[in-house]
Structure 1
Amino acid sequence: MKKTLKSLQLLLAAMLLIPLFSYASDYKGFMKPKPGAWAKYLSMFGQDRIEIKNIYVGEEDIGGKKVYVIETRTRGGFGSSTSQIWMDKKDEKIIKIVMKNNGQISCISGSIMDMGVSAKNDKPSVKTPKKFDPKRAKIKYKTYKTPKGKTVKAAVFEDKDNKYWVSSSVPFGIVKIYDKKRGKDIMYLYDFGLSDAKPSIPILKARNCKPMNFPAGIMEGNIQIPTDTKNLPGLPDF
């Protein structure tokens, strides 16, 4: 009888632990998205709300290199923009960024972007960044519900400045970023999908686009950025 009771206790304990181990193992790094996968975020830049939609366009070949192509659309802040990041599949180094402005296609070299720390660190990732390695010890797990009602399980990582919620269920991994100093979220996932999103920039035009040269003033940072955003229109869905 005692042996039977002990066996039942062990079985019950195992059944209670199974969901915990299953929950923790759900994060296996960033997913490998399929073309058309997308993630939409809301972010704050000063007092302005920014909408960001990242779309995984797919893999291409350029100059003998396999590259990932991600299209990013933004609304708010200083206006709206559409661009594509072409980055080396091997190390995710930016090869070029293709932009669409009033129907015209232009692009800049990745070597120019190397001068911008923000551009290198904040671009969407297809591969799992080292700082979000699922093999790291002491990872916390949370559940996140998007404003559109979708629930995802997230692993929580942090550095001296931010806490990052990331998930294997979301294209590009990021669920939200919490600024420790400000004590609030500075970007969070609004909605996402695993297919059907179409790029706004034609892939053939983007592939054939040759990076342009910049005037010396821009290269040296001698440009003025407008700061009056009070009269900008509302943010349409996209």
Structure 2
Amino acid sequence: MGNVKTKYKLVLQSKEARAIRLGFDLFQQGNGYKKIAEHLNQMGYRSKKGRPLGKGTVGCWFQNPYPYAGCYVWNVRKKGKIQAEEDWIIVEDQHQAIISMEEAKSCRQQYHQRIKDGTRYRRTTYPLSGLLYCDLCGHKFQLKGSQKYNNLYYICGSNYQRHDACQNKLYLNQQRLEDSVMEEVNGKIMQQGFLESYFQMARKDLNQKAKDAQGEIRGLKSENRAVRGSDEADAEGYGSVGIG
């Protein structure tokens, strides 16, 4: 998208180039692939096949931005996998550019940084994730099902992987289970005197730990004084020995 390959050179297509230029501007402003695609679609831009732009298509622009900076790029993939950038062959100034080489390098770095920071893919966490264990095999319960169709459930991870590994065949509806647990937790917390009692216990525990720590410090100081006293006595003993 953006250039048409002829027999001799790539010719810039103004409409596609405007879309890509805008996409890179939005990316450098911190927008995600989905938001960029939605914005471009709202402005009437489409793929070569006339379909709305998807976030996957937009994401590829920033994964390898160098062709849009006027470069020919080879050796990007090997056996279907993206290779390390140092293995890429990048030849500059081969056709008209949509973005500068500096922008291409910057966007490439931002692309990697977003992956590193976890902003490319966001994982949803649930209140009971990692807290439920099977009482038959001890394996953690896992959340399965379809979030799209609001059909999520907790199931023994061992049973899910191998049905003959555990006899626990419970399918616990995620929403009902979490609502029930949170209702129970809130009921306990909101009981009169619960928080006061909890904080008193916590304070008592902290005070006891502080006393224990002080006792250990006093013991270490006493041992240190004893060692120093022993060293001084040994030094005096050596000093009283004459040399014939």
TM-score by length of 2: 0.19
> Quick check: which has more Rg, 1 or 2?
2
Greater share of strand: 1
Bigger RCO of structures 1 and 2 (CA < 8 A, at least 6 apart): 1
The normalised TM-score by structure 1 is 0.20
Which structure has greater helix proportion?
2
